[in-house]
């Protein structure tokens, strides 16, 4: 399918700033099939994204690779439906990782939000995961891991500490795995699940050299980093080698161009812009009567190049 007129003409207008003119790798999206992925792909290209990494079922990889070629890099979705059959869980997920790698996969996704752990009692440090993680190390792949959730949720949805634990406790399983498998490359989804506490992320990065974070979950990241712009800018400059760009966009049938564009618009302004602009993303966590805003951090050009592309090359092996 050839590209038509830019989608931003139907949504938010042109990208707010384009200081950075190079390619961008989106290291964290979710896709299901070719038909529903085209709109995301077009919006991504409008905002400079040349390669998108998508969490996907293994059986959907072939069609997506045929359609999008090297612009699409798979992230194997680990299947937790077999937890009740431990031997089969390990066997089939190891097989899926190996098959995915043969078809261009760069990572595997592990989702351990507090509600999942509370329901299943299965954690990222479960011994059943070791053969799968060891396969990632062997193949040079990355573990994309969701740990924790916004502080706002721990104050509300996860207020039952006996059931969900504290936010600090969510990181015990991550640190146990990082400590036991020092060669495992880990991409912490959504700023490692803790954009609220950058000092905590500093400690994790200092202790575990193979721990990176991505910028996905745009609404959450933009809200928290915009609330403390000086600290956020200093952190991104200081840790520029350990942060990869990601949107967490999900390709779905009823999506509008503006839905996809809003996430890319917000992030390009957050990293490249200067000053505050109204956010195009509704955010119920923001109580300001004027609505949510995105505070531009005006990152230096060399930092932008690392976050947008350079670190994806080192972490995921993606060359453009």
Tens of pLDDT, residue by residue over 135-184, are: 999 999 999 999 999 999 999 999 999 999 999 999 999 999 999 999 99
How many residues does the structure list for the chain? Answer: 320
pLDDT exceeds 60 at position 3: no
Identify the CA nearest to 158 among candidates 97, 111, 126, 114. 114
- Judged by average pLDDT, the poorest of 5-9, 34-38, 212-216 is 5-9
pLDDT of residue 10: 58
pLDDT tens for each residue of 284-320: 888 888 889 999 999 999 999 999 999 999 999 999 8
Q: What is the mean pLDDT of residues 233-261?
A: 95
Q: What element of type H or E holds 200? A: helix 198-207
Asked if residue 190 has pLDDT above 80, the reply is: yes
- Whether residue 89 has pLDDT greater than 90: yes
Residue 257 has pLDDT above 50, yes or no: yes
Tens-digit pLDDT profile for residues 96-114? 999 999 999 999 999 999 9
Q: Residue 7: what pLDDT?
A: 63
Q: Looking at residue 289, what is its pLDDT?
A: 84
Does the pLDDT at position 232 exceed 80? yes
Give residue 5's pLDDT. Answer: 56
Q: Are 100 and 62 in contact (CB under 8 A)?
A: no
Average pLDDT for the chain: 94
**Domain segments of the chain as ranges:** 7-316
Work out the percent of the chain whose per-residue pLDDT is above 90.
88
pTM here is 0.95
Transcribe 214-250 into DSSP letters: E--SHHHHHHHHHTSHHHHHHHHHHTGGGEE----EE
Residue identified by tokens 């990632």 is 136
What pLDDT is attached to residue 288? 83
Q: What is the pLDDT of residues 284-294, one digit of tens each?
A: 888 888 889 99
Mean pLDDT of the 181-188 span: 98
- CB neighbour list of residue 91: distance below 8 Å, 6 or more residues apart: none
pLDDT digits (tens, 9 = 90+) for 170-180: 999 999 999 99
Give pLDDT, residue 22.
Answer: 93
Residue 274 has pLDDT above 60, yes or no: yes
| Exposed/middle/buried for residue 305 (C-beta within 10 Å: 0-12, 13-18, 19+) | middle
CATH superfamily, with its number, for domain 7-316: Metal-dependent hydrolases (3.20.20.140)
pLDDT above 80 for 11: no
Phi, psi of 111 (to 5 degrees): -110, 110
Please tell me the predicted confidence (pLDDT) of residue 1. 39
């Amino acid at each position: 399918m050839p590209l038509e007129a830019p989608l931003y003409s139907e949504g938010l207008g042109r990208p707010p700033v384009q200081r950075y003119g190079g390619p961008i790798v989106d290291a964290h999206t979710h896709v299901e099939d070719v038909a529903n992925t085209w709109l995301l792909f077009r919006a991504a290209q409008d905002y400079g994204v040349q390669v998108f990494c998508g969490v996907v079922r293994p059986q959907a990889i072939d069609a997506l690779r045929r359609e999008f070629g090297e612009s699409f890099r798979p992230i194997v979705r680990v299947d937790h439906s077999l937890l009740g059959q431990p031997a089969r869980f390990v066997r089939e997920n190891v097989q899926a990782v190996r098959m995915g790698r043969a078809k261009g996969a760069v990572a595997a996704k592990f989702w351990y939000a507090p509600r999942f752990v509370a329901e299943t009692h299965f954690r990222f440090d479960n011994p059943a995961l070791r053969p799968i993680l060891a396969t990632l190390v062997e193949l040079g792949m990355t573990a994309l891991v969701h740990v924790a959730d916004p502080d706002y949720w721990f104050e509300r949805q996860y207020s039952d500490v006996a059931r969900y634990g504290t936010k600090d406790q969510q990181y015990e399983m991550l640190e146990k795995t990082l400590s036991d498998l020092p060669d495992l490359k880990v991409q912490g989804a959504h700023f490692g699940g803790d954009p609220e506490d950058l000092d905590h992320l500093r400690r994790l990065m200092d202790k575990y050299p193979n721990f990176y974070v991505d910028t996905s979950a745009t609404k959450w990241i933009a809200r928290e980093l915009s609330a403390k712009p000086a600290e956020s800018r200093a952190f991104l400059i200081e840790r520029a080698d350990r942060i990869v760009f990601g949107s967490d966009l999900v390709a779905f049938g009823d999506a509008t161009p503006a839905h996809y564009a809003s996430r890319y618009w917000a992030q390009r302004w957050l990293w490249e812009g200067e000053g505050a602009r109204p956010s195009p993303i509704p955010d119920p966590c923001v109580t300001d009567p004027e609505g949510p805003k995105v505070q531009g951090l005006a990152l230096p050009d060399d930092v932008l190049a690392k976050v947008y592309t350079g670190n994806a090359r080192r972490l995921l092996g993606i060359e453009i």
